[in-house]
A and B are shown apart, each in its own frame.
Chain A
Amino acid sequence: MTDVYTWIYFVLTGVGAMSALWVATLLRRRGGSAKRIVVEAECPRCSYRGYVGYSEGLYVGKRLQQRCPRCGAELVVSAIYEEAPPCAAGLLFASRGSGAKDRRRKLKTPQSVGGYLQHGPTRP
């Protein structure tokens, strides 16, 4: 019987340690460096809006080589900003505190697309 209790003790300790490590890893990801640069582009002729991949040298107002999928005009960069990825700690404690609503909202935000143009309505 003693052996059985010893095994239960070891298993519970192991599970506890693993859980603690998992939580610590999630919390460490808070405010991590994996922030993305999002570049919004719009068509000056038909007001189509979409995302383009970031590359150095882009600025707001710059004409892009990509064409508008609706009317074929050159797209223009309309905004460049930084977007944080969904926060793992926020997921974990999503029901806690006043920031929980914001964090849940962030998770629903359409994520930016790198390297190509995303079609359709883009603004949430």
Chain B
Amino acid sequence: MFGGLNATRLLGGTAGNELATWIIAISILASTILSMLAFLGVAQGLQMRVWKSQIEAKLRVLETYVDDVKEKAREKLRKAGVKDPDQVLRRTMDYFVIEPVSIEPTDITRRLERILRTEEERIEEIVRRAADPGTSEVELKNVVTLLAIGNALNLLYKYIRHLLLLGLKTKNAMLVAQLWMMLPLYMRIAKAYHDASETIEKGLPIGDAAGPLAAYILAKEFREIKPPEEIVKDTVYSIHEFEGRRVYIVRAKGPGSTVGRPGEAVEKLVEERLKEPLAAIITIDAALKFEGEDTGSIAEGSGVAMGDPGPEKIRIERVAVKHGVPLHAIAIKMGLEEAITTMKKEIVEGVSKAVEEAKNLILECCRPGDGVIVVGVGNTIGIGFQS
């Protein structure tokens, strides 16, 4: 029984035939209208609405990430004695860097280096001026990194919002579709940055600290000849002895968040401080793995293992060419998220393997009496020195 009507009677006999005819007629009419609307672009419009709502939902998530990082930075700035944290945030969140002119390649790395150093020094100066003079260097470095993360997230948020609004404004379905398709990748990066902010706030070692951790372990295991000394800004070197070889270990100065200037340090070391013949330059760094590769696996190669935009890397390459020194590299594999979030156990195990690999390299590539430079490349957050 349906609403007092007998269903069997309704669907049978003459009345049933009439109902079936009506149903078929309505179906044909509806499909004709839908087909015509599809040709007129209504389907695309509906699809765009779906994409728009999904992108907007992700944008809201991204906005909460930005706000969260800002709040963490605000809190850190307050702890560092900054009276008006919002002013510091306003100046640093929208800080931008203009790439050097690339159609004239002469000296482009030097120009890029100058621009990047200006950025680094400027942000540090803004924070240092606002902070209490007694604030530790470690705290200052960590706040600067936190602000850099906030800046990157803010830029990503504004870029995605810009593409969405532009696509809607110009009714460009392809632009919106492209953005929608790329969004999972952008969100992956954004989440990694957001998670990284938590690690930086606590001052814990990140995956990228694998290189400095390897340098720390090597320095601990080799007999020390000269304790760590700052050779260039935020970068230290120490001299050790291993099986008759003189090992110069270079890394950024921890435990604050900094990558230092390893290229300039190696250049200065080779040109001014090295006394014995240099047999090799070995760089140990975290490297992005391919999907499917194991986190913490290591690989040996040649060249300079360094993820900088170029200025630091080229200094090591140039000095190696000038003195005819082989360049060896050891990569500790990890994903993008793992590189900027708290170090994982697999990475620590990978560092131990890289240390053994570096020892073998030193023994195989250098004769007793030779000098070798080992550079632990990466961010030194949470990696100090053994006193």
CB-nearest residue of chain A to B201: A56
Majority secondary structure, A binding face: strand
Q: Given the complex of chains A and B, what is the CA–CA distance between A70 and B382 in angstroms?
A: 27
User: A60 touching B204 by the CB < 8 A rule?
Assistant: no
B255 contacts chain A at the CB level, 8 A cutoff: yes
Which residues of A sit under 8 angstroms from B383, Cβ to Cβ?
Answer: 59-61
User: A82 touching B343 by the CB < 8 A rule?
Assistant: yes
Q: How far is the CB of A30 from chain B (nearest CB, A)?
A: 16
User: B386 touching A61 by the CB < 8 A rule?
Assistant: yes
Majority secondary structure, B binding face: loop
Interface size class of A (residues with CB under 8 A): 10 to 19
User: B344 touching A82 by the CB < 8 A rule?
Assistant: yes
User: B254 touching A59 by the CB < 8 A rule?
Assistant: yes
Q: Given the complex of chains A and B, what is the CA–CA distance between A44 and B205 in angstroms?
A: 21
Q: Given the complex of chains A and B, what is the CA–CA distance between A76 and B219 in angstroms?
A: 14
Q: How many of chain B's residues have a CB under 8 angstroms from any CB in A? A: 22
Q: Given the complex of chains A and B, what is the CA–CA distance between A46 and B385 in angstroms?
A: 19
User: A61 touching B205 by the CB < 8 A rule?
Assistant: no
User: B386 touching A76 by the CB < 8 A rule?
Assistant: yes
User: B342 touching A81 by the CB < 8 A rule?
Assistant: yes
CB-nearest residue of chain B to A44: B386
User: B216 touching A61 by the CB < 8 A rule?
Assistant: yes
- Using A60-B213, A60-B216, A76-B386 as known contacts, say yes or no to A82 and B255 having CB atoms under 8 A apart: no
Which residues B200-242 have CB closer than 8 A to chain A?
A: 202-205, 213, 216, 220
Q: Given the complex of chains A and B, what is the CA–CA distance between A79 and B344 in angstroms?
A: 10
**Of B203, B342, B384, the contact of A61 (CB 8 Å cutoff):** B384
A59-B383, A61-B254 known, 15 other contacts, Cβ within 8 Å: A37-B342, A44-B220, A59-B205, A59-B384, A60-B216, A60-B254, A60-B384, A61-B255, A61-B387, A63-B387, A79-B213, A79-B348, A80-B205, A81-B205, A81-B345
Using a CB–CB distance below 8 Å, which chain B residues touch chain A? 202-205, 213, 216, 220, 254-255, 341-345, 347-348, 382-387
Using a CB–CB distance below 8 Å, which chain A residues touch chain B? 35, 37-38, 44, 56-63, 76, 79-83
